[in-house]
């Protein structure tokens, strides 16, 4: 298939591009280095230095014999995106091209505005470029489990049947996010749903939980193909941060009481989920929503597991509860349904002790790159 990947330089975009190319698809990636630039501006550089996209594509081609086309351009600029969509004419478009950090979006007006303009602008442009030029193309959009927040009832997969005064209707599941970033994803879903039901687009919205891991099958070929792995407070996610903290010998930073529960998944399972979604396109006029994670953990459980495995490996891992910089429930009910992707054939890589140990070993090879000044929270919204 012809696959266009927007945000192809990102933590998930680049591994997805290699995975799809390795499977024999014709792949084009587009990115404007927004996240690289934001990381530099906020002193949040990744653990492992990353070649630029052209260089990564060159190394991948030399190692695998597979080509990935690269376009450096801004998806929030309609004329630029429109030209790429029209000329490449994708059968599937995978949309990762968003500012992905909750803390960044809560840093101040400029960061909030940039998040809002980029994320909504890119999604709006994707919808229009597809509607105008490739209306049969399957849009696979990366949403987030954070759209739902932490309601006191079970989280369904995207939709909720509501019975009210004796009548029934299926609605998008109620959503109430905890950051502006997560709220832009709620708005994305609403935009997609409006255009799906109005113009008959075909869309899969993948509600993904926090992803962890440093490597994938294709990145294992050459260290220069590794995903960009952040461990700072702005772009790093909980598990990846804890792995680095364990190796650096600083206490694991549990925010507040640590009862915050989320659905997590291994980066290798992100690739599986996106592939499964792509291989089973939805009908025109349908918005399919799938909850994309494999296991639920509280922050305390994550810290306990990583410290236990780290200590068994001879690291000196301690855990410290610090004042929570975020405004979020620290103890809450959480039960999210996630059967859709399993029904499509997902075979999860669970977070076993062996998986944690191998991730710690990988981080240990980059121990000298760790800058402990990047670890404590710098952005507060409480």
- 181 carries an active-site annotation: yes
Supply the minimum distance, in Å, between the C-beta of residue 91 and ligand USQ.
Answer: 26
Which of 56, 326, 338, 374: binder of ligand USQ (CB under 6 A)? 326
Residue number, nearest CB to ligand USQ: 146
Question: ∠ CA 234-236-240 to the nearest 5 degrees?
Answer: 160
Residue with Cβ nearer ligand USQ (115 or 215): 115
Q: Is 150 in the site for ligand USQ (CB under 6 A)?
A: no
| Angstrom distances, CA of residue 211 to CA of 292, 307, 366 | 10, 19, 20
Contact range with ligand USQ by CB under 6 A, out of 56-64, 125-133, 235-243, 270-278: 235-243
Residue 192 host element (H or E): helix 180-199
Candidates 80-88, 124-132, 189-197, 205-213 — which segment interacts with ligand USQ by CB under 6 A?
205-213
Nearer Cβ to ligand USQ (210/310):
210
* Cα 212 from Cα 239, distance rounded (Å): 6
Could you say whether residue 100 binds ligand USQ (CB under 6 A)? Answer: yes
71 strand-pairing partners: 30
* Region of 206-214, 333-341, 351-359, 364-372 interacting with ligand USQ (CB under 6 A): 206-214
Catalytic residue among 96, 185, 195, 255: 185
| Enclosing H/E stretch for 70 | strand 68-72
Which are the contacts of 203, defined by CB distance < 8 A and separation ≥ 6? 138, 139, 140, 141, 192, 196, 282, 286, 287, 288
For residue 144, indicate whether it is catalytic: yes
CA 96 vs. chain centroid, Å, equals 8
Distance between CA atoms of residues 306 and 65, nearest Å: 38
Out of 35, 141, 262, 374, the residue judged to bind ligand USQ by CB under 6 A: 262
In the complex, least distance from residue 220 CB atom to ligand USQ, rounded to whole angstroms: 24
The DSSP line for 136-159 is T-EEEEEEEGGGT---SS-B-SSE
CB of residue 135 to ligand USQ, shortest distance in Å: 28
What tokens does 116 get? 């809002």
Binding site for ligand USQ (CB under 6 A): 100-102, 144-146, 182, 208-210, 237-238, 241, 253-255, 260, 262, 299, 326, 328
Active site members: 144, 181, 185
């Amino acid at each position: 298939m012809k696959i266009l990947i927007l945000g192809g330089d990102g933590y998930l975009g680049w591994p997805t591009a290699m995975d799809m190319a390795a499977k024999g698809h014709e792949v084009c990636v587009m990115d404007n280095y927004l996240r690289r630039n934001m990381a530099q501006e906020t002193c949040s550089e990744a653990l492992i230095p990353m070649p630029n996209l052209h260089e990564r594509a060159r190394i991948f081609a030399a190692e695998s014999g597979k080509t990935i086309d690269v376009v450096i351009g801004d998806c929030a600029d309609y004329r630029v995106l429109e030209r790429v969509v029209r000329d490449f004419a994708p059968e599937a478009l995978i949309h990762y091209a968003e500012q992905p950090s909750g803390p960044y979006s809560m840093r101040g007006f400029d960061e909030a505005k940039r998040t809002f303009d980029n994320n909504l602008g890119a999604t709006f442009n994707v919808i229009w470029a597809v509607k105008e030029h490739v209306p049969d193309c399957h849009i696979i959009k990366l949403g987030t489990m954070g759209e739902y927040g932490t309601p006191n009832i079970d989280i369904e997969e995207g939709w909720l049947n509501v019975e009210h005064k004796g009548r029934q209707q299926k609605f998008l599941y109620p959503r109430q996010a905890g950051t502006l970033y997560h709220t832009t994803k709620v708005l994305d879903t609403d935009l997609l749903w409006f255009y799906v039901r109005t113009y008959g687009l075909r869309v899969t919205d993948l509600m993904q939980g926090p992803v962890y891991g440093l490597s994938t099958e294709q990145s294992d070929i050459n260290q220069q193909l590794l995903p960009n792995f952040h461990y700072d407070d702005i772009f790093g996610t909980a598990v990846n941060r804890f792995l680095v903290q364990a190796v650096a010998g600083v206490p694991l930073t549990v925010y507040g009481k640590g009862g915050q529960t989320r659905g997590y998944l291994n980066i290798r399972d992100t690739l599986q989920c996106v592939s499964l979604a792509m291989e089973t396109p939805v009908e025109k006029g349908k918005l399919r929503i799938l909850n994309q994670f494999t296991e639920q953990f509280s922050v305390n459980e994550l810290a306990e597991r990583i410290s236990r495995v780290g200590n068994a490996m001879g690291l000196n891992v301690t855990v410290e509860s610090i004042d929570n910089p975020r405004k979020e429930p620290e103890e809450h009910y959480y039960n999210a349904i996630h059967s859709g992707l399993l029904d499509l054939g997902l075979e999860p890589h669970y977070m076993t002790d062996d998986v944690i140990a191998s991730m710690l070993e990988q981080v240990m090879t980059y121990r000298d790159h760790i800058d402990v000044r990047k670890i404590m929270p710098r952005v507060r919204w409480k």
